[in-house]
Amino acid sequence: MHPAHLNRPVSINVARPVVLFTSAEEAWFWFMRTEKARAEKAKAAQNAAVFDRPCLPDDVYTIVSQLHRAHELSELHLEVMGEYGFLDRPPFPDVDDEAVDWVIWLDAFDILEPVLFARGIVE
């Protein structure tokens, strides 16, 4: 999870195509699912995947951390991203208790998406 990690080429299995994420949200949910699996000490079944991703889960974490240290993502952004990432869904804008979180969520991903795109992680 070091910044130099981002500059190192990612080892990919050439037998499987690399599929970019369609959005920063998709990349975030993928990262959160891998974190939940790590927390549960589950072993990822990488052999079952039919494609590779353009980065490692730690790359997404590192980018989010860099944006936070640069004061582009706030603690509130991280709190909302973490809460709903753990739930594996975005906030619902039509639910009163989640409407403000929805606005914060949108703002966070408006900040994150261009960075992931520039890194070749999101198409």
Task: State both tokens at 117.
Answer: 């795109």
Evaluate if pTM is beyond 0.85.
no
- Residues 89-115 have pLDDT tens digits of 999 999 999 999 999 999 999 999 999
- Residues 43-78 have pLDDT tens digits of 545 445 556 888 989 999 999 999 999 999 999 999
Encode burial over 22-55: b for 16+ CB neighbours within 10 A, e otherwise.
ebbbbbbbbbbebbeeeeeeeeeeeeeeeebbbb
How do the residues of the chain divide into helix, strand and coil, expressed in percent and rounded to 5? 60, 5, 35
